[in-house]
Structure 1
């Protein structure tokens, strides 16, 4: 199932979407929790809480997904587990195990990607498609040109360059360097 189909099913109240998410994402969350001083039971609790939050968020009319759905679900689980870990252990941030810190850096990278995708949404449709295909779908310039009906790979490359410059301006206007580099 594609992300949009899953979201549509959730909006319609179809719980088979949750079963699909469980089947395809639970093991990743189990590893996250167990590697960070948790148990399988705690992983199940975190995952169920995350599914509830996801369900509620998607059913809000103003919900917009700016990353892959699995990334969004992972970030919810990560945040829930960090809160639980802090409550459970009463550690300060510097005392949280190294594995959690590594996971946090991964999550922060995902947040930067969300910022980038948010900025990409401010571009025109052609620029959005070109950057999406190139950076996220990793298509070649030739494939992008064919998909978008451009003359050739050089035309796609030239357009990508202009779109990237436009994206850079949007980023500079809406976000500080600190937002992207912390």
Structure 2
């Protein structure tokens, strides 16, 4: 007998659910993270799918508020970022556009043209979600606002763009403070 699970008042076989979302996740991961092997992507999909199943079966308070595909993609993206964080940052250095924006922001407190990338990386890394995720998605992963809106469940690319702007303003202040502290 095949095991079934209830999602949105539908009784769905777990195998069916697994294979229904597998191809889309693999395509999403290969597009977003081209430097990761297919074997790693498949392993991360399996882990992400199991997170969903365990939540649905064991967490009575858990309510899926987005599509199954969106949930699996987000869990998988987080797992990829956790697993490959160092390698992703090393292979995708800070975007020149981001660096130029940060240099102009920081120029009033730092006469040095050489802004310490490590400080910037640490400041971004210390940001809470969704800011950290949005900044990394936009500047490192080069995702479009439409893709970011889909991944993070924003109503439109414009809403995602507004959130990115707020996050950038926050990180700007954090970096200014970090640079001031470095000078002390």
What is the TM-score normalised by the length of structure 2?
0.47
**Which structure carries more relative contact order (alpha carbon 8 Å, separation 6+)?**
2
Larger helix proportion of the pair: 1
Larger strand proportion of the pair: 2
